[in-house]
Chains A and B, each alone.
Chain A
Amino acid sequence: MKIQLNNKIKAALTTISIALFLILVFVGDNVISSGSSWRMLITVIEKGSIFALVAASMNLLNGFTGLFSLGQAGFMLMGAYTYAIFTIPSASHDAVYQYFGGGIIKWSIVEVLESKIGVVGHYLGLFIPIIFAGILVAIVAYLIGIPVLRLKSDYLAIATLGFAEILRAFFQWNTLGPVTNGSNVLRKYTTYHSAIFPVVIAGICITIILLLLNSTYGRAFKAIRDDEIAAEAMGINLFKHKELSFVISSFFAGISGSLLAMFQSTISATPFTTQMTYEILLIVVIGGIGSISGSIIGAFLFIACSEWWLRGLDSGSWLGISSDLMRSGFRKVIFAIMIMLVVLFYSKGIMGDKEFSWNRFVNWWLTRPQAIKNWPNKLKSKLVSKKKARMAKSDAKARLKQEKADSDYKKASGTPLFTPLPISDQVIVFDKEGK
């Protein structure tokens, strides 16, 4: 028996669960004191939603358009820097750019907005720099995309990886110090004050990505992923659509970068290495390539593991187990093993290429009691079939042995193994020379 929910109920369920989640985050943020160990939950939700956004943007590129690109960390870095540079209050410039004489840019977007439109400007000052960062990253991505998107598969991955590293080096360049502060950290810029902010921004952006994927353009992206030649023969301009996907993906990577800058409250180019791209790629793979809901689940799981649940592995004791092995870095070993297990036995990831659906969710829970009841029988039948397979194998082995013995016997006793072909009267002679 399968339950089919109608669209109204599904919409209601979605709205209720989103509202409930937001309320819980809001309440949790205000109730849990910063000393409590449960404060980690809020951190995980903040960072998780930021990584969910960047993973979704990478999935748009890798999972839906079939472009294996590894430039995400570079675009995040650029988004983070753009946000930070343009929101440092003018009073703090001398302190931040202490080695570069107070920097070149002497104003911040927030202050300009505040002086023009007052209190509204103060709140707009949180959103407009984020969008500005996204747009700037998108423009750079457009320019990078022109040469790079003519490449395919692995070559594209290498080229985008290279560009991301170039971006990182570029932002650390001393000559650009008056703008980027060289290799020193940027700090004292405006940040959000409530954990609900990154959740809402990431939520809106992911919704936009989902809407895009369900439009005709999303279908065109999937067509390019499935078969480039056929897509082109169906009138889809390959380059235009690849560029579109690349630019949109980078736009959202830039936005998540600026959210990360706000989350960390100081930013430097050092952590945005290739390793960060791999972490994002990992989230995408664990969640399922080609599933946005998978990326979201993957992001929260990954961040919860690395920030919270597996922290104990680095500090000596975890779940009551303590060992000398558990030194700083051991967490990464466990992580690597977990990833190997996921890739080996669960290669499609948590969601495969399917999106979350209420129908499947409800039916899964409804079928659990039956499944648990059937479990012993299932196990038994599995064991029986394994035993049968083993018996059949040994039978076949025995038969083979017998046959071999027979043929050996025949050879020994001189019986011919095959009957020669009868020689016919008409023999066809192929004469090469011809007469």
Chain B
Amino acid sequence: MDNRQVVLKLSDLTMQFGGVVAVDNLNLLLHKNEILGLIGPNGAGKTTAFNCITGVYEPTNGAVEINGNIVIENYPKGKMKEEYKGRNLGKYTKSQTMLPDKVTKLGVARTFQNIRLFKGMTVLENVLVAMHMNQEETVFGATFRSKKARNEEKAMREEALVLLRKVGLYENKDDISTSLPYGKQRHLEIARALATHPTILLLDEPAAGMNPQESDELMHFIGEIRDKFDLSILMIEHHMQVIMGICEHIYVLNYGGQIADGAPAEIQANPAVIEAYLGGDE
């Protein structure tokens, strides 16, 4: 088996909305420097899983472990407990959830399915916002431009420009972010995520709406940033070409549940996956 260090571990992650189980007992391991794919038909619960990892939702049950620290852990309570029929009931006893900003500080950055850039800001400012969380200066110092604040601002700007050069957006640095072409907006979103100094990058459909050539470029781009920034990447994607071309390991979800996991070739041959995607014959 894989003996690389585990950076992200989901154990029995479950998310219920009322009676709907959006994510059902998901167990997932992300190793260091691995590119992991998470696929499944629409509504399979992929994005919900992302939201549970990043703290947007409080999972009904299960735990999320980042770099060996349990950051989110929950057990079913109240009505959920009955509906859940006591699965994994005794397993998790703590109840803790982190807000998204804390999870980001632990080194988990993400992008969004429908691009969420800061509309009114330039490309450079978009990246600078992501660096704000590492600032040590207080509001007072920052307002009155203390020496520390000026130095920090200067360092931030330099770093942001280096980052933009690396992802090929240097020429567009003063453009308004939403005026960029679609592909570049995706690149900018990834650049913004990288500016938070992550160790784990979660990409939510990075190739959505791209033509084959663009998605091909994106594939290389993701591979490159993995090497350059020493990242472990978990990505949701519908483009099979991208997923099969870049991922080392793939998890398949359907109706919240995990139906298969393995190397791309195994997944392609797996009858359960084919059934989920194409529908079984009666």
Contact = CB atoms under 8 A, between A and B. Distances in A.
Contacts of A434: 282
A236 B101 contact: yes
Given A220-B132, A232-B101, A226 B120 contact: yes
B143 A226 contact: no
Contact of B121 (A223, A235, A236, A237): A223
A234 interface: yes
A242 interface: no
Give the interface size class of chain B: 35 or more
Contact of A223 (B129, B142, B144, B195): B129
A244 B117 CA distance: 23
Contact of A234 (B120, B129, B149): B129
Interface in B127-160: 128-135, 137, 139, 142-145, 149, 152-153, 156
Interface stretch (B2-10, B13-21, B104-112, B259-267): B104-112
Interface in A213-247: 215-217, 219-220, 222-223, 225-227, 229-238, 244
Nearest to A245: B139
Contact of A233 (B54, B132, B142, B143): B54
A215 B143 contact: yes
Interface string A417-435: 0000000000000000010
Interface in B72-127: 99-101, 104-105, 109-110, 112, 116-121, 125
Contact of A216 (B110, B120, B156, B195): B156
Contacts of A219: 121, 125, 128-129, 132
A19 interface: no
A279 interface: no
Given A219-B125, A235-B132, A229 B101 contact: no
B47 interface: no
A353 interface: yes
A166 interface: no
B101 A244 contact: no
B132 A236 contact: yes
Contacts, number: 106
A235 B133 CA distance: 6
A88 B115 CA distance: 58
Given A216-B135, A222-B118, A229-B56, A236 B282 contact: no
B61 interface: no
* Chain A contact residues, majority secondary structure: helix
A233 B110 contact: yes
A211 interface: yes
A217 B118 contact: no
B104 A215 contact: no
Nearest to A216: B132
Among A211, A226, A227, A244, chain B packs the most CB atoms within 10 A around the CB of A226
A235 B105 contact: yes
B119 A211 contact: no
Interface in A264-294: 290
13 contacts: A212-B139, A216-B132, A216-B156, A217-B143, A222-B120, A222-B121, A227-B116, A227-B117, A227-B118, A233-B54, A234-B133, A234-B196, A235-B132
6 residue pairs, one from A and one from B, having the closest CB atoms: A235-B133, A235-B104, A230-B116, A215-B142, A226-B118, A232-B100
Interface of A: 208, 211-212, 215-217, 219-220, 222-223, 225-227, 229-238, 244, 248, 290, 353, 434
